[in-house]
Amino acid sequence: MSRSEESERLFARAVQSLPGGVNSPVRAFRSVGGSPRFMARGHGPYLVDADGNELVDLVCSWGPLLLGHAHPAIVEAVRTAAGLGTTYGAPTEAEVVLAERVIALFPSLEMVRFVSSGTEAGMSVVRLARAATGRRAILKFDGCYHGHADALLAAAGSGVATLGLPDSAGVTPATTADTIVVPYNDLAAVAAAFEARGGEIAAILVEPVAGNMGLVPPAPGFLAGLRTIADDHRALLVFDEVMTGWRVHPVGAQVLYDVHPDLTCLGKVIGGGLPAAAYGGRRDLMSRVAPSGDVYQAGTLSGNPLAMAAGLAMLEVLATSDAWARAERFAAEAADGLRSEAAAAGVPLTVQRVGTMFTAFFTDAPVTDYASAKATDAKAFGRFFHAMLDAGVYLPPSAFEAGFTSAVHGPTELDRVLTAARAAFRVV
């Protein structure tokens, strides 16, 4: 069993100065119980915690680390950029080059604007959609997360075409009055919402592969159906690919499913492990963004030279190696192995995977939306999580989050994961 004394000591200190002892809620282990592990360093496919335990990392900083921890190319790129200055508050060539490379990859992108977080990308793209259409309402899906902007922190209402209800203290009903929430993978609910309020809806905002209720793929025809409904009602289709970009496919979900949105949010991988995100789309829409147009958005650290350098290094490695294929192969083998071990132990388990993302749900039924995700056995997941952690495998500390693999996970790590799972399923 791994030690956690130093992590517990640090957590006791942290709760005195940080809300809940953390800087992002899911890190607090509230949904699985216990105290969070404090990390000291990462190398390749491993994290090393404050007690010196080496853990196979299947979180990968929630997605950015497609090449694993401290990849030499990224470390060198950041070191070189830092030696020239950490921020200028002025344009650089690196941000132009990264923009050109991203645009060349994504078929729906003609222009992009860099920001520092997925939340910034989400709030900015909603503002742009409203300005471009002259409409106020946004349709989103229950269980999909698009950052913590007030208008997007809305839970499902009581009916198919109801307004979203505030999902956080401090978010007023007026703030979410123009947010409509319907079930993911339910085209009939989307059609009903547009039948009721289609003339008011500026955009459909969706994770094309949901990752914030656990990994939930789109049903066949779902994304194409959203494209058709948006077109029929002269609304915009917005893909939030902050998580799925370079993760579910060597480019993104819009290439994997051949459905092109009007606007796209990107993040995580695009910064190579440093804070960076972007939003982009058609030139006529993006030309509305200041200073070209009348939609204001700004950021002191947008296009930060360190993040641009890391992002360029990441994309260069992905373009010139089989890194993505290796990460995907490990994810497939791990998913198959978990299914086999669970079946041998008689434990109901559904492992859902797209590309290098996966979730193990404790249920014997497919998970298709937030309601079916919430119906899975979260307590069993909590027991499994701690058994795996004690055996040296770090999973997302929530039953409703996706796991991630990297190009540097290999046979040794796979054996460690499946050996740990074999024992863990016996205590679930």
Read off the CATH number of the domain in which 269 is found: 3.40.640.10
pLDDT band at 158 (very low <50, low <70, confident <90, very high): very low
Coil, helix or strand at residue 241? strand
Looking at the structure, tell me whether residues 349 and 332 fall in a common domain.
Answer: yes
> Which one is predicted more confidently, 71 or 3?
71
Q: What Cα–Cα distance (Å) separates residue 374 from each residue in 212, 231, 309?
A: 12, 32, 40
Bigger pLDDT: 158 vs 351: 351
pLDDT in tens, 101-156: 999 999 999 999 999 999 999 999 999 999 999 999 999 999 999 999 888 888 75
Residues 254 and 175 in one domain: yes
**Residues 194-207: what's their mean pLDDT?**
97
Tokens 């222009």: give the residue: 111
Structure-block tokens of residue 304? 């930060």
Helices 323-345, 411-424: crossing angle, 10 deg rounding: 20
CB 363 within 8 A of CB 348: yes
The more confident residue out of 213 and 173 is 213
Query: Are residues 232 and 288 located together in one domain of the fold?
Result: yes
Mean of the pLDDT values across residues 205-234? 98
By residue range, what is the domain housing residue 287?
72-319
Do 59 and 151 lie in one domain? The reply is: no
Please tell me whether residue 22 adopts helix, strand or coil conformation: coil
Domain count along the chain = 2
Among 272, 298, 319, identify where a domain stops: 319
Cα–Cα distances in angstroms (integers) from residue 134 to residues 25, 128, 129, 290, 291, in the given order = 35, 10, 8, 17, 19
Query: Measured between alpha carbons, how far is 328 from 316 in angstroms, rounded to an integer?
Result: 18
Q: Which tokens go with 104? A: 């060349």
| pLDDT confidence of residue 155 | 75
Instruction: Answer whether residue 161 shows pLDDT above 50.
Output: no
Domain containing 354 — which CATH number? 3.90.1150.10
Q: What percent of the chain has pLDDT over 90?
A: 92
CA distance 363 to 266: 31
| pLDDT tens digits for range 65-112 | 999 999 999 999 999 999 999 999 999 999 999 999 999 999 999 999
User: For residue 127, how far is the Cα from the chain centroid?
Assistant: 21
- Do 326 and 300 fall within a single domain? no
Cα separation, 238 vs 208, whole angstroms: 9
Please tell me whether the peptide bond between 183 and the residue prior to it is cis, using omega within 30 degrees of 0: no
Q: How far apart are CA 182 and CA 160, in angstroms?
A: 6
Q: Which residues have CB under 8 Å from 131's CB, separation 6+?
A: 288, 294, 295
Question: Residue 105: exposed, middle, or buried by beta-carbon count in 10 A (0-12, 13-18, 19+)?
Answer: middle
Which candidate, 238, 226, 297, places its Cα nearest to that of 109?
Answer: 238
Task: Name 13's Cβ contacts closer than 8 Å, sequence gap at least 6.
Answer: none
Active-site residues, by number, are: 145, 240, 268
Note the pLDDT of residue 159. Answer: 41
Q: Taking the complete model, does pTM exceed 0.75, yes or no?
A: yes
